[in-house]
Amino acid sequence: MRLARVAGPVVLATIVALSLASGLRAADAPALPGVKRFTLAASPIGLVGDVRPQQYLGVVGPRSAWLGSETGEAELWVHPLKLASGFRLDFRIPDYAEPVRGRDVARSVEVRPEATTISYSHAAFTVRQHILAPLDEPGLLVLLEIDASRPLEVVASFRSVLQYAWPGGLGGQYAFWSDEDKAFVLSESLRRRNAFIGSPWAASATSHPAHALPDAPSSFTIPIDPARTARELVPIAIAASTAPRADVALAYRRLVTRAREIYDARVAHARRLREESLRIDSPDDRLDLAFEWAKVNLDEQTVCNPDLGCGLVAGWGPSGEGARPGFGWFFGGDAAINSLAMAATGQWSPAWDGLRFLARYQRADGKVPHEVSQSAGVVPWFDQYPYAYYHADTTPFFLLALHRQWRASGDARALAELWPAARKAWAWCLPHDTDGDGIIENTTGGLGAIEVGAIGDEIHQDVYLAAVFARAAGAVAEMAAARGEGELAAQAGEIAARARTSIESRYWIEAAGHHAFGVLRTGRTNDTLTVWPATAAAFGLLEPAHARLTLSALASHALTADWGARMLSTASPLYDPAHYNMGAVWPFVTGFLALGHYQYERPWAGYPLVDALARLGFDWARGRHPELLSGDRYRPLDTAVPQQFFATSMLVSPIAYGLLGFEPDAPSARARLAPQLPPEWETLRVTGLAVGKSRLDARFERRASALRIQLVPKGPPLLLELRPMPPRGARALTARLDGRQVPARPFVSVTLDGLPRVVDLRWEGGLELEAPQAALTPGQPDQGIRVLDFAALDGGFRLAVEGLSGSTATLRLHGERPAGADSGTLRAGAGVTELEVTFPTSGARFSRTEVRLRRP
């Protein structure tokens, strides 16, 4: 394909006609003004590093997505359309006969919530490519900041696609260069789907055949005037829509004329998200940064589709040769799971929108959609495709999520708006309990924990679905009672109690010492050790003694790797470390397991999982969490979506609901804080705990046998229950509120009415265990220490740990100094006791040891 001067003759009359129809003609619109040079500031949470080839880089907004790699290549999406693939920048300088490939000189990347920058460095030039996804425009904007010592041309190229997201399709697409707009126009026969990709600086472009998309890449060339680039940024605009061409042409022009406004809006949005939602300031800077990026990811779920409306998508990743952008379509279960985290951070508005979206596409019988493609508005998605409603868990999860948003926000109006959908969802659930145990079933309702794999064979109901429904039934009972619907409240309450009883009676396996995965159609149980009972533990549905045994089993190396929880035990003959449902590590179920550990006061087992989830956001795609990883080594699977939102939300939920023990109850103007802080943390500051219109900041200060909590409330009065967990075996717990002694058990009650309050807790004795954390290196196998149990006994403590067979490890204990140990070696340090343990040599890779510690 030859390069032709834009001002040159156009060979085919058809192309002339198409160009004249492109929207705005030169006579109708003045030349686009320049973009005055301005500085894109560093972000307080920006992530900077060397470019890593093949590593995912995404820049997404409500209407568009740049999905590519850190070397600069990308797919261009404006929903519901994939516009182009292989977008890239190359550079021409007089010294070289061939262009300098951008991917070869891409040196560093700076990922920020508001914009991402790729820096290209060459001896003759430096180009900083700033990529923005606007909040309110159907397009993407690239701003080039250029410093060149020699003549330079920037060549932007891409392969035209103009295709609906899977499974939609278009035919008759074509592309041509519009001299008036300095842009390629991508369109189709009916001219109802249009895209513009270009730059007002462009001087030449490739020519194309009529009525077709080219087989070769399209490219346009931008000659660089050093004097002008000292004053201006070079814009490249990408606009598209399922709208008339003139409308898309206007959007293309707005991207350029509003460039500074678009950037400033993104900066302001990022600042509000950072400062007006839940924040943590702990001794672990990496954890704090990961938490901030988790909020950014949760914000990036929102997609506004012109045919379907605004909702929450599940994740992002390049589609390659196809048209499925990761999981960039609307998933009901993912939205519900993620909304639990958003309820805690205060990201209520997009969470409510996500629930409204699901209600809009609820089936007539009440079933809530499992997934809705971006192209569902143009294909018979709900009628002829099998995917929309094939999961059973999405419907009760919708009810659970609705309850959690209402409890956090206190938004009675939003609850009333969605209550008809909730009643329909509840009505759908009821007939899918055919055996009367209070639990809906996979056999009649649809899929739950497992989509593929032999472990799902003959399943009647699985423990994940059972847990979600049991919790949803309790949620319906509470919401109905608040709305004055006593009959419904009583019905749902009775079913919730029956479901909880059934989980224990039908899933607990005394001989195995853990809960089962599922109940089979024969009535027997599938006794395989899986991660799924962690869901019931996370919701607090298990009998405490049984929960402790199940969680101890799940904490072992057979289930928990250094980087998270496998779905299936390595001891199972079905285990496959690269299988989607049969052995891979999923961050989202890792979060359930971490939360389960905290729910049953096992922070030494929960915190290593939280730490592993935090690291995921930095070792792979910067600021993002991959969908799943190998069960054998610390690496995402090649098939994993690189930016998966329920992986991210399951970092937030264990921190908010587990480590902090935060439970808002805005309708009752109450809240709970039950922190389980790592013993090595001397301070923790939390800001923006949101309970309806009330806000609370808290500062925790740890000293020997003491904890001070400073509370600073804002907004309407709030009754706070403080339930800090004292060390194992602590005695004589006392509490003072503003210097006045108050009851410490079962909790410290604090009325917050605008004035700061101080709570001082003291105790005698007791012991805390510092959670062992693995030093994760990409590609490493599982090799860390697992704490299976830690309990206070009469006269001492019992510690059960697991590690590499024949190895030695050191554990750190805080609090009273043990008088001795029945095995291992004790060493006294400054405020810390070190316990050195040796794991027995055995034929297995890992072995266990148990240590009894004697009190002084």
State the DSSP string of 415-472: HHHHHHHHHHHHHHHGGG--SSSS---HHHH-B-S-SSSGGGTTEEEEHHHHHHHHHH
Average pLDDT over residues 157-173: 96
State the pLDDT at residue 172.
Answer: 92
Three-class HEC string of 530-558? ECCHHHHHHCCCCCHHHHHHHHHHHHCCC
At 447, the amino acid letter reads: L
Helix axes 463-482, 412-429, angle to 10 degrees: 130
Residue with tokens 């659930």: 429
CA triple 134-140-141, angle to 5 deg = 90
In tens, the pLDDT along 683-736 reads 999 999 999 999 999 999 999 899 999 999 999 999 999 999 999 999 999 999
State the pLDDT at residue 856.
Answer: 84
In this predicted structure, the answer to whether residue 13 has a pLDDT above a threshold of 50 is: no
Domain boundaries, the chain: 3-271, 283-415, 433-527, 679-765, 769-854
Distance CA 314, CA 312 (A): 7
Residue with tokens 């403080």: 722
Partnered with residue 376 across adjacent β-strands are none
3-state helix, strand, coil in the chain (%, to 5): 30, 35, 40
Ordered strands of the 518-520 beta sheet: 459-462, 518-520, 525-526
How many Cβ atoms from other residues are within 10 Å of residue 719's Cβ? Answer: 16
What tokens appear for 318 in the block? 């390049």
Q: Residue length, the chain? A: 856
In this predicted structure, the answer to whether residue 495 has a pLDDT above a threshold of 50 is: yes
User: Contact at 8 Å (CB) between 797 and 828?
Assistant: no
Q: Is 110 left (phi over 0), alpha (psi -120 to 50) or beta?
A: beta
CA-closest candidate to residue 702, choices 733, 718, 724, 687: 724
Among 18-22, 65-69, 674-678, where is mean pLDDT lowest?
A: 18-22
Among 395-404, 448-457, 489-498, 728-737, where is mean pLDDT lowest?
A: 448-457
User: Contact at 8 Å (CB) between 374 and 81?
Assistant: no
Average pLDDT over residues 228-237: 96
User: Contact at 8 Å (CB) between 391 and 674?
Assistant: no
How many Cβ atoms from other residues are within 10 Å of residue 478's Cβ? Answer: 18
Distance CA 833, CA 843 (A): 31
Residue with tokens 């190998």: 630
CA-closest candidate to residue 373, choices 325, 339, 334, 418: 325
> Which residues, at least 6 apart from 14, have a Cβ–Cβ distance to it below 8 Å?
210, 211
State the pLDDT at residue 677.
Answer: 97
Which SS3 state, helix, strand or coil, does residue 310 take?
strand
CA distances from 601 to 538, 595, 768, 799 (A): 11, 10, 12, 15
Distance CA 436, CA 846 (A): 43
Q: How confident is the model at residue 15 (pLDDT cuts 50, 70, 90)?
A: very low
In this predicted structure, the answer to whether residue 271 has a pLDDT above a threshold of 50 is: yes
User: Contact at 8 Å (CB) between 765 and 815?
Assistant: yes
At 165, the amino acid letter reads: A
Which SS3 state, helix, strand or coil, does residue 801 take?
strand
What are the φ/ψ torsions at residue 800 (nearest 5 degrees)? Answer: -115, 125
Helix residue ranges per DSSP H, 312-364 = 332-345, 348-360
In this predicted structure, the answer to whether residue 29 has a pLDDT above a threshold of 80 is: no
Alpha carbons within 13 angstroms on the beta-carbon side of residue 210 total: 10
CA-closest candidate to residue 639, choices 315, 162, 312: 315
User: Contact at 8 Å (CB) between 23 and 245?
Assistant: yes
CA-closest candidate to residue 68, choices 54, 57, 79: 57
Query: What percent of the chain lies above the pLDDT cut of 90?
Result: 90
**What is this structure's pTM?**
0.95
Among 158-162, 376-380, 499-503, 840-844, where is mean pLDDT lowest?
A: 840-844
> Which residues, at least 6 apart from 775, have a Cβ–Cβ distance to it below 8 Å?
none
User: Contact at 8 Å (CB) between 374 and 80?
Assistant: yes
| CA-based torsion, 652, 316, 168, 252: positive or negative | positive
In the CATH hierarchy, which fold is given to the domain comprising 3-271? Beta-galactosidase; Chain A, domain 5 (2.70.98)
What are the φ/ψ torsions at residue 621 (nearest 5 degrees)? Answer: -60, 130
Partnered with residue 143 across adjacent β-strands are 130, 235
Element (H, E) at 226: helix 226-229
User: Contact at 8 Å (CB) between 139 and 66?
Assistant: no
In this predicted structure, the answer to whether residue 777 has a pLDDT above a threshold of 60 is: yes
Residue with tokens 């939280």: 610
State the pLDDT at residue 22.
Answer: 42
> Which residues, at least 6 apart from 614, have a Cβ–Cβ distance to it below 8 Å?
284, 286, 287, 290, 291, 651
Task: Please give the mean pLDDT across all residues of the chain.
Answer: 94
Contacts by residues 226-230 (CB-CB < 8 Å, ≥ 24 positions apart): 226/148, 228/34, 229/37, 229/145, 229/146, 229/147, 229/148, 230/37
What are the φ/ψ torsions at residue 361 (nearest 5 degrees)? Answer: -110, 20
In the CATH hierarchy, which fold is given to the domain comprising 769-854? Maltose phosphorylase, domain 3 (2.60.420)
What are the φ/ψ torsions at residue 648 (nearest 5 degrees)? Answer: -70, -45
In this predicted structure, the answer to whether residue 392 has a pLDDT above a threshold of 90 is: yes
Average pLDDT over residues 335-354: 98
What are the φ/ψ torsions at residue 158 (nearest 5 degrees)? Answer: -165, 165
State the pLDDT at residue 21.
Answer: 39
Average pLDDT over residues 569-588: 94
Burial 94-114 (b: 16+ CB within 10 A, else e): eeeeebbbbbebbeebbbbbb
State the pLDDT at residue 601.
Answer: 98
State the pLDDT at residue 498.
Answer: 98
State the pLDDT at residue 450.
Answer: 83
> Which residues, at least 6 apart from 149, have a Cβ–Cβ distance to it below 8 Å?
124, 125
In this predicted structure, the answer to whether residue 123 has a pLDDT above a threshold of 70 is: yes
Among 41-55, 369-383, 444-458, 535-549, where is mean pLDDT lowest?
A: 444-458
In this predicted structure, the answer to whether residue 304 has a pLDDT above a threshold of 80 is: yes
State the pLDDT at residue 211.
Answer: 76
At 517, the amino acid letter reads: F
State the pLDDT at residue 170.
Answer: 93
Distance CA 618, CA 292 (A): 12
Among 16-25, 161-170, 568-577, 822-831, where is mean pLDDT lowest?
A: 16-25
What are the φ/ψ torsions at residue 161 (nearest 5 degrees)? Answer: -125, -60
Alpha carbons within 13 angstroms on the beta-carbon side of residue 753 total: 2
At 315, the amino acid letter reads: G
Average pLDDT over residues 763-785: 95
Average pLDDT over residues 140-161: 96
In this predicted structure, the answer to whether residue 590 has a pLDDT above a threshold of 80 is: yes
Distance CA 62, CA 442 (A): 34
At 99, the amino acid letter reads: P
| CA-based torsion, 40, 44, 45, 51: positive or negative | positive
State the pLDDT at residue 296.
Answer: 98
In tens, the pLDDT along 191-215 reads 999 999 999 999 999 987 767 888 8
Q: Which CATH architecture has domain 679-765?
A: Sandwich (2.60)
User: Contact at 8 Å (CB) between 826 and 809?
Assistant: no
CA triple 779-781-785, angle to 5 deg = 130
What tokens appear for 577 in the block? 């470390």
